[in-house]
């Protein structure tokens, strides 16, 4: 297994990369392969998990600028930050589910050329850095959101905060196209770089493995692709993307756009009610196979 993994990884990577990047990455992978063969027994490489679309939590805070369509939606338990999308959201009653659908919405700002929250709604992604913070949101499927993988990594000796990390993101935003503004991803890519540098430092300078599942695979790929080559060479041991697009290929995003998406599991909110929310997400109109180019350092 140890001997075939690098081969598997390079095959996977080469399939995912545009031709212009393949030769360079093949060289990089060859050097990584040699290192892996030399360095067996030298300790674990830190691993950063980037989970699928429905996995990261989202917290919100309402300000006086919030003008809810339904008056009840401005009343939330206590003041300050509250869990908007969490592993408890499935418990919402019909009324609160309507508020969820409203407060999750994004609006496109043509002046900014970027998406943002509704006026008066502030959001943040908690548990950045933690792999355990992005657990399954569906009580009957605790293994979702890389739960099974985290357990397996634990058996291999990986420990949260030492060698095992997570980089949850705001699932409503999509990684930007070349030249496109993305306030969310500008910050996220910087945070991710710091996370990886710190993880590497804690582990005797060993570069990190970046592993993304599903939409997280696309996020991982865009992160690595946007990283300056020298930085990448120094800090990224492997990029692993597992099922890095929707299982439905082109068709599922289209049907979700037409009839809503069941990924955000809230029994009290019918799929059609979720449609109005989903359609405002940048991720809803993101196309996995659009042409891209490597941007180098300009987003850092």
Ligand X SMILES: *[C@@H]1O[C@H](CO)[C@@H](O)[C@H](O)[C@H]1NC(C)=O
Instruction: By CB under 6 A, name the binding residues for ligand X.
Output: 87, 133, 135
Q: Nearest residue by C-beta to ligand X?
A: 87
Residue (95 or 143) nearer to ligand X, CB: 143
Q: Smaller CB distance to ligand X: residue 154 or 296? A: 154
Q: Go through the chain and tell me how many residues it has.
A: 300
HEC profile of the chain: CCCCHHHHHHHHHHHHCCHHHHHHHHHHHHHHHHHHHHCCCCCCCCEEEECCCCCCCEEEEECCCCCCCCHHHHCCCCCCCEEEECCCHHHCCHHHHHHHHHHCCEEEECCCCEEEECCCEEEECCCCECCCCCCCCCCCCCCCCCHHHHHHHHHCCCCECCCEEECCCCCCCCCCCCCCCCHHHHHHHHHHHHHHHHHHHHCCCCCEEEEEECHHHHHHHHHHHHCCHHHHHHHEEEEEEECCCCCCCCHHHHHHHHHCCCCCCCCCCCHHHHHHHHCCCHHHHCCCCCCCCCCCCCCC
Rounded least distance, CB 87 to ligand X, Å = 4
Could you give the CA distance from residue 64 to residue 26 in angstroms, rounded to a whole number? 54
**CA dist., res. 2 & res. 115, Å (int):** 43
The rounded distance, in Å, linking the Cα atoms of 268 and 274 is 10
Whole-angstrom distance, CA of residue 126 vs CA of residue 130:
9
The CB-of-245 to ligand X minimum distance in angstroms stands at 26
The nearer residue to ligand X, 153 or 174, going by C-beta atoms, is 153
The answer to whether 191 and 226 have CB atoms below 8 angstroms apart is no
Can you tell me which residue has the tokens 């548990």? Answer: 127
């Amino acid at each position: 297994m140890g001997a075939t993994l690098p081969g598997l990884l390079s095959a996977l990577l080469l399939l995912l990369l545009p031709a212009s990047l393949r030769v360079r990455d093949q060289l990089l992978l060859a050097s990584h392969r040699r290192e892996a063969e030399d360095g067996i027994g030298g300790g674990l490489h830190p691993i950063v998990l980037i989970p699928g679309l429905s996995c990261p939590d989202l917290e919100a805070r309402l300000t006086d600028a919030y003008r809810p369509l339904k008056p009840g939606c401005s009343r939330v338990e206590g003041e300050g930050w509250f869990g908007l999308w969490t592993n408890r959201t499935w418990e919402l009653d019909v009324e609160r589910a309507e508020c969820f659908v409203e407060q999750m919405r994004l609006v496109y700002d043509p002046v900014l050329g970027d998406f943002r929250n509704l006026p008066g709604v502030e959001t943040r992604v908690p548990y950045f850095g933690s792999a355990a913070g992005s657990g399954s949101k569906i009580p009957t499927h605790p293994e979702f959101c890389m739960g099974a993988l985290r357990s397996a990594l634990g058996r291999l000796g990986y420990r949260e905060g030492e060698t095992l990390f997570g980089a949850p993101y705001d699932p409503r935003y999509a990684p930007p196209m070349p030249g496109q503004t993305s306030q969310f991803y500008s910050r996220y890519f910087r945070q991710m770089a710091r996370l990886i540098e710190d993880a590497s430092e804690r582990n005797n300078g060993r570069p990190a493995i970046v592993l993304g599942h599903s939409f997280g695979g696309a996020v991982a790929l865009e992160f690595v692709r946007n990283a300056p080559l020298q930085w990448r060479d120094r800090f990224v041991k492997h990029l692993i993307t597992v099922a890095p697009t929707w299982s439905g290929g082109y068709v599922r995003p289209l049907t979700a756009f037409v009839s809503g998406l069941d990924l955000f599991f809230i029994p009290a909110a019918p799929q059609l009610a979720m449609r109005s929310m989903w359609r405002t997400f940048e991720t809803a109109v993101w196309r996995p196979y659009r042409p891209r180019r490597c941007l180098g350092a300009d987003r850092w």
